[in-house]
């Protein structure tokens, strides 16, 4: 090994790089194990010594998730609830965030503090009252039983993100539009929203992830098999005597794909939105 090669290795091997490598392995290895276990046969899933590569490669777990446990219905339920909830949060949150960022109003500071408190409020404290309310109005085991609470619980966080991003948009752009005769709604739709796309996408990714992975409300308010979402459906796979680990791994891999795809596609917007929120708040 040449002196130059040894020098480059010594530069790379330092405490900071080793710490970064340890963090990456800590994050990646469980995902790797989840994926390869989903392609193992039921006998090999819990074998010892463990298989680090599936041999043979089997798709039986994926077929079992859809054919025996109705995972397709759970996927549709989660997608319906999550997309509708995220859409409502973005529409309402963008309007509220713009109002808090630009319009003069009394009590703005207490309102922002209240939103912050609500965003960290534990949902377990309201599950029982929500169950009673949904039961009285006949909404148990319906899509709206989750869409309405998901929208309400995720709105404060989305409003904060979008308000902070709206604060970073120069006011001169709005003033120029108004001088040209555009109404407030036209200015908001044509000028402000295109400039605020990173903040909106950031809020959308976080809200989508929160709704997609929520468990407690979904288990309490939609416990019928026809309306179960993915987290509840996977948790109830199997029976008291049998736990189909391979099928659970396969369903989990499928469940991760939408969130992972969303983050990958909009990663630049998410980074930009978070940076603006941290600096402009």
Residue 74 and residue 51 share a domain = no
- Higher per-residue pLDDT: 250 or 193: 250
Domain end marker among 40, 60, 80: 60
Same domain for 54 and 139, yes or no, is no
Which CATH number characterizes residue 106's domain? 1.10.3720.10
**53 with 78, same domain?**
no
pLDDT value of residue 9: 59
Q: What is the per-residue pLDDT across 5-49, written as a single tens digit (0 to 9) for each?
A: 555 556 667 778 888 888 888 988 999 999 999 999 888 887 778
If asked whether residues 39 and 106 sit together in one domain, one would say: no
The pLDDT assigned to 281 comes to 44
| pLDDT (average), residues 203-219 | 94
Residue with more model confidence, 84 or 101: 84
Mean pLDDT value across residues 252-265? 91
> Does residue 186 sit within a domain?
yes
Evaluate whether residue 78 is within a structural domain: yes
DSSP per position, the chain: --HHHHHHHHHH-SHHHHHHHHHHHHHHHHHHHHHHHHTS-HHHHT-SSPPSS-SS---HHHHHHHHTT-HHHHHHHHHHHHHHHHHHHHHHHHHHHHHHHHS--TTHHHHHHHHHHHHT--THHHHHHHHHHHHHHT-TTSSHHHHHHHHHHHHHHHHHHHHHHHHTS-HHHHHHHHHTT--HHHHIIIIIHHHTHHHHHHHHHHHHHHHHH--HHHHHH--SGGG--HHHHHHT-S-SS---HHHHHHHHHHHHHHHHHHHHHTHHHHHHHHHHHHHH-
- Domain match, 112 and 55 both: no
Mean per-residue pLDDT, 121-126: 87
Between 265 and 207, name the one with better pLDDT. 207
pLDDT of 137-173, one tens digit each? 999 999 999 999 999 999 998 998 888 888 888 887 7
Q: If you average pLDDT over residues 48-58, what whole number do you get?
A: 83
Verify that 51 and 118 share a domain, yes or no. no
- Higher-scoring residue by pLDDT: 61, 275: 61
Query: pLDDT digits over 270-281, tens only?
Result: 666 566 544 444
Per-residue pLDDT at 90 exceeds 90? yes
Range of the domain at 31: 3-60
Residues 54 and 27 in one domain: yes
Both 126 and 105 in one domain: the answer is: yes
Residues 131 and 259 in one domain: yes
> Of 19, 36, 60, which residue is a domain's last?
60
Percent with pLDDT over 90 in the chain: 44
Percent of the chain topping pLDDT 70: 91
Same domain, 54 and 86: no
251 and 165 part of one domain: yes
Asked whether residue 139 is assigned to any structural domain, the reply reads: yes
Q: What is the pLDDT of residue 279?
A: 46
Final residue of a structural domain among 60, 80, 97? 60
Over residues 58-73, the mean pLDDT reads 93
**Total number of domains in the chain:** 2
Residue 150 within any structural domain of the chain? yes
Tell whether the model's pLDDT for residue 2 goes beyond 60.
no
Q: What pLDDT was estimated at residue 198?
A: 84
* Together in a domain, 100 and 24: no
Average pLDDT over residues 70-81: 96
Average pLDDT, the chain: 85
The pLDDT of residue 277 is 47
Averaged pLDDT for residues 164-183: 78
Does position 94 have pLDDT exceeding 50, yes or no? yes
Please check whether residue 146 lies inside any domain of the structure. Answer: yes
Q: Examine residue 202 and state whether it is found in any structural domain, yes or no.
A: yes
For residue 65, being part of any structural domain is answered with no
Residue 248 has pLDDT above 50, yes or no: yes
- Of residues 242 and 220, more confidently modeled: 220
């Amino acid at each position: 090994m040449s002196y130059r090669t040894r020098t480059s290795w010594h530069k790379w091997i330092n405490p900071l790089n080793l710490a970064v490598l340890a963090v990456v392995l800590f994050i990646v290895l469980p995902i790797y194990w989840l994926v390869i276990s989903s392609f193992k046969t039921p006998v090999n899933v819990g074998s010892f010594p463990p298989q680090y590569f599936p041999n043979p490669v089997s798709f039986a777990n994926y077929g079992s998730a859809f054919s025996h446990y109705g995972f397709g219905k759970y996927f549709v339920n989660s997608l319906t609830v999550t997309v509708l909830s995220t859409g409502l949060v973005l529409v309402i949150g963008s309007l509220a965030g713009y109002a808090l960022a630009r319009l003069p109003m009394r009590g703005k500071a207490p309102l922002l503090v209240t939103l912050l408190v609500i965003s960290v409020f534990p949902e377990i404290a309201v599950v029982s009252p929500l169950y009673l309310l949904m039961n009285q109005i006949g909404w148990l085991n319906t899509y709206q039983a989750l869409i309405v609470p998901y929208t309400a619980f995720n709105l404060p966080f989305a409003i904060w993100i979008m308000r902070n991003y709206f604060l970073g948009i120069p006011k001169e752009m709005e003033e120029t539009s108004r001088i040209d005769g555009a109404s407030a709604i036209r200015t908001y739709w044509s000028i402000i929203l295109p400039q605020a796309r990173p903040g909106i996408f950031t809020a959308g990714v976080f809200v989508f992830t929160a709704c997609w992975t929520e468990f407690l409300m979904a288990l309490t308010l939609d416990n019928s098999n026809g309306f179960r979402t993915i987290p509840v459906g996977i948790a109830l796979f199997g029976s008291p005597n049998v736990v189909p680990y391979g099928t659970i791994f396969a369903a989990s891999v499928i469940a991760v794909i939408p969130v992972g795809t969303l983050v990958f596609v909009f990663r630049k917007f998410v980074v930009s939105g978070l940076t603006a929120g941290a600096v402009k708040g």
